A and B are shown apart, each in its own frame.
Chain A
């Protein structure tokens, strides 16, 4: 991992993803505030994390496709201990497994509400956090209209 960094307000200090050839389009999408997943051409299956083959039909024909960004919280944990020094001032923070309406689940942060208010099954929408050096991470916040 690259060195931790912070945003302009100095609030977030994260380890940056180190994209691979397979994952670069995903992170490029985040930088444009677009959540992109691979989708196979024969059947329209989505998958995550990025891979060179559809997990379900093994097709290698796919397109990077924007998804709607709506999700439901599958499960979560609230960090009360800093496993990395640069995260100490972020505590407590929430790591969740979010299930996108298109199906795949991904690891993200749950933001925009207190950890005590986070509930499995809550409706979420994607937001993007631009970090200093042009890296953007996704996060999910409660979706007001669907709560």
Chain B
């Protein structure tokens, strides 16, 4: 059993938003340098590397190592989609405890906005790189885009529990309130419920504000032994527990789109960390779409299954709510960096870095999630102020 021996000691993100000419690798380097500096370390201290880039990048860890001149004991990339980023921290903690490495850089970067500015032929090639096996069963029926996959789940949740678009709207509106206080956020203009409800529909029940952003950015954290962390500049953030679950049989199988892989991933993480949902001070949840926040709020036990709509409408996600969630604005409003910004925000909240209007008061425990891989892979981290 893991003995809570690892800590996050550095965290940073690159420039974030619509960055003309950006490349994923360039942004990854920017974030990596930032996180190592934030930790008070140098390149010589890094002996482990788990980084991931866009799905069509080969051996992203090797590309980053080449760019930064790093030879390390232990390195890999991961292939669990949006669940990969907390999984990197999980594996880093285990690698450190096992003695494979002492100090591991974990990161992710993408150029999701800049890619939309690429010539059409390159865009087409990039599109073909993912999910080619699914296409035979989807494209012919006009099933395109990630919104539909999650909309199918939202529609079923609505049918089973009476969840409404307004309930989903509270996720979008609350996270935009958080983003308005975050100077780095991509979308800071206030969003009203009326604007949310009037927005152009994409794939019902989703409108544009249910969908996360196209972002150019990288983010990274540095993980090292908790014992060593005491000598470094920031309050360490202990990796107290973690879990994962993977509904590999499929999103449309069983009830996976209503009770997601977060449920069992969370149970494992709570057990390892020896805490309950009531102990968690802030949640940083993977929010590719509004519905995924609602589903995870239930799956993580912050409220019973089926009651997420009313719970969220009561203001639960706000800074003074029952479970302040995605307090940087999340992927819906801060920027979509495949869950890596969720880890960075969890660290910053636990360090008590923010002015009062952004800080979760006296935050001691943060739950961070990652979700992806055609929406069946899930990882949970429970982080603790050291």
Contact = CB atoms under 8 A, between A and B. Distances in A.
B159 A107 contact: no
B142 A109 contact: yes
B82 interface: no
Contact of B137 (A106, A119, A121): A106
Interface string B143-159: 11101100111011001
Nearest to B208: A81
A55 B200 contact: no
A77 interface: yes
Contacts of A77: 147-148, 151-152, 155, 203-206
B137 A79 contact: no
Interface stretch (A15-23, A31-39, A57-65): A15-23
B139 A15 contact: yes
A87 to B, nearest CB: 5
B271 interface: no
A43 interface: no
A107 B141 CA distance: 8
B253 interface: yes
Contacts of B257: 75
Contacts of A106: 137
Contacts of A87: 142, 144
Contacts of A120: 155-156, 159
B202 interface: yes
Nearest to A95: B143
A115 B205 CA distance: 12
A105 interface: yes
A87 B201 CA distance: 16
A108 B253 CA distance: 15
Interface residues of B, number: 30
A105 B249 contact: no
B121 interface: no
A6 interface: no
A105 B152 CA distance: 13
Contact of A95 (B142, B153, B249): B142
B140 interface: yes
A74 B200 contact: no
Contacts of B76: none
B203 A15 contact: no
Nearest to B140: A17
A107 B203 contact: no
A137 B137 CA distance: 10
Q: Chain A, interface size: which category?
A: 35 or more
Interface string A81-101: 101100100100101010000
B136 A105 contact: no
Nearest to B160: A120
Chain A CB within 10 Å — which of B135, B141, B143, B147 has the most?
Answer: B141
B120 to A, nearest CB: 11
B252 interface: yes
A97 to B, nearest CB: 5
B67 interface: no
B140 A14 contact: yes
Given A97-B252, A105-B252, A81 B142 contact: no
B122 interface: no
Chain A CB within 10 Å — which of B138, B143, B249 has the most?
Answer: B143
B144 A84 contact: yes
Interface in B227-266: 249, 252-253, 257
Nearest to B139: A15
A14 B138 CA distance: 11
Nearest to B207: A80
A20 B133 CA distance: 10
Interface string A1-45: 100000000000011111110010000000000000000000000
A121 B159 CA distance: 9
Given A1-B135, A17-B136, A95-B148, A78 B141 contact: no
Contacts of A17: 136-137, 139-140
Given A97-B152, A105-B252, A105-B253, A79 B136 contact: no
Contact of A75 (B156, B201, B253): B156
Contact of A81 (B143, B159, B201): B201
Interface of B: 135-145, 147-148, 151-153, 155-156, 159, 200-206, 249, 252-253, 257
- Ranked nearest first, the 6 interchain pairs of A and B with the lowest CB-CB distance are A83-B144, A80-B201, A78-B204, A77-B151, A75-B156, A120-B159
Given A14-B141, A78-B201, A95-B142, 13 more contacts: A17-B139, A18-B135, A20-B136, A77-B147, A80-B202, A80-B203, A81-B201, A83-B145, A84-B144, A95-B148, A105-B252, A105-B253, A120-B156
